[in-house]
Structure 1
Amino acid sequence: MILILIGLCLLSYILGSIPTAIWYGEAYHGVDIRTLGSGNAGATNTFRVLGKKAGSIVLFVDAFKGFLATSLSTFLFYLHLIDWQTCVSLKIVFGFLAVLGHLLPVFCDFKGGKGVATLMGMVLALHPEAALVSIAVFLLVFYLSNFVSLGSMVASLMFPFLMVFKVFGDEFPILIYFGFIVAFLVIFMHRKNISRILQGTENRMYLIPRKKQS
């Protein structure tokens, strides 16, 4: 069992390490996304630099790798090797390792993106209802502010508060602790964005593209 858990931990990290934005940019556009736009190897910068199609693909794959890694513990549960509480705890461990892999990918000199899309996939696998509400909040804040970074931070805070106020019923304490730790990490990863927002220099994006004036 110990060997299985070690193997799944490594697999989770490797899944997270897949540098979707970098590999897609090099394969289909002949560019290194890290040298363009904000320099971030993530979905937001891909949308901004390479367009909607490229950004959508990167967003989906980055989210899916977080979802898949987090779901690995479910197989152990259905094989009756662990109970549900242990399954939830391992979901957090495997998902966190996938996010860590995105932040510090072994395939790209440990220089990756901010992990928001991978984290989204993780929380979808961990708590679908709370994740969907958080995504809705992200879209609303993004639409109103035109800042992806602000939407990400507000949505990350929404997740643990949904747990604290038991919107979906009683929750395991570890889920609440996880939620607040993640919110702190997301805000920390966006500290430069916060500074740019306050200075009025943060890049804007538009959920609904504006019509070009003729």
Structure 2
Amino acid sequence: MLTIVIVCCTVIAYLLGSIPTALWYGEAYFGLDIRKHGSGNAGATNTFRVLGKRAGTIVLLIDAIKGWIATSIAMMLYYSHLIDWNDCETLKLIFGFAAVLGHVFPAFSNFKGGKGVATLLGMVMSVHAEAALVCMVIFFLVFLASNYVSLGSIIASLAFPVLLVLKTFGNENDLNIIFGFALFLMVAVTHRKNIVRLLKGEESRIYFRPKKK
């Protein structure tokens, strides 16, 4: 019975991650398919680039929230006394990964989604809030210094497992560290084209503040 519940929760987490926020928001409020503009990516970064800061912020927040909710399903099972704390920590990672996978390969939009960074942020907030906050600071510092969202995302995603390895917040669950590096690899893979453009100096910049003329 418990196995069936866990499988169902994993599917729910994937479906939550599959909600194509950028696509639906763009169609509902701007009458356009975000995948046909900018980088062609259905994520928060391209929404910022194509639809502006307000739309990008909304998409970013919703994508992060869906990752947090999906990951936190494990807490519901824990408080329902269906699993113990060790199982809860493991299932957080499984449900969170399912949500990120859903964002990258969404069932509701032909399996063509975003790069998973905002959803990953929501997952990390649920798994390890302290590390998530530090990673957010790292992201903004890199972004403000370089104006590259992709570079900030890659470095911040790497910072998460590194912070755990360094025991910045005390002794850590080895499984969290392993998944941290696995998720960094996922971010690196989904940003492979961005990495190539960064190396060539061709990556598009996004300015937090308007450039001075």
TM-score, normalization: structure 1?
0.97
Aligned partner of 1:14 in structure 2 is 15
Equivalents in 1 of 2:47, 2:120: separation in Å?
Answer: 17
Give 4+ residue runs of structure 1 displaced > 2 Å after superposition.
207-211
1:202 aligns with 2:208: no
1:50 aligns with 2:51: yes
| Cα deviations by residue, 1:136-188 (Å, 9 ceiling, x for unpaired) | 00000001111000000000111001110111011110000011111111111
- Residue correspondence of structure 1 range 1-214 to structure 2 within 5 A: 1-211=2-212, 213=213
Aligned length: 212
| Cα deviations by residue, 1:60-107 (Å, 9 ceiling, x for unpaired) | 110000000000000111122211111010000000000111111111
Equivalents in 2 of 1:155, 1:16: separation in Å?
Answer: 20
Equivalents in 1 of 2:82, 2:167: separation in Å?
Answer: 29
Shift of 1:209: 2.9
Shift of 1:208: 2.8
Equivalents in 2 of 1:76, 1:14: separation in Å?
Answer: 18
**Identity among equivalent pairs (%):** 59
Which amino acid is the alignment partner of residue 106 of structure 1?
A: A
Structure 2 stretches of 5 or more lacking a match? none
Q: Secondary structure at the match of 2:74?
A: helix
Which amino acid is the alignment partner of residue 29 of structure 1?
A: F
Equivalents in 2 of 1:97, 1:197: separation in Å?
Answer: 29
RMSD: 0.8
Structure 1 stretches of 5 or more lacking a match? none
Equivalents in 1 of 2:24, 2:52: separation in Å?
Answer: 15
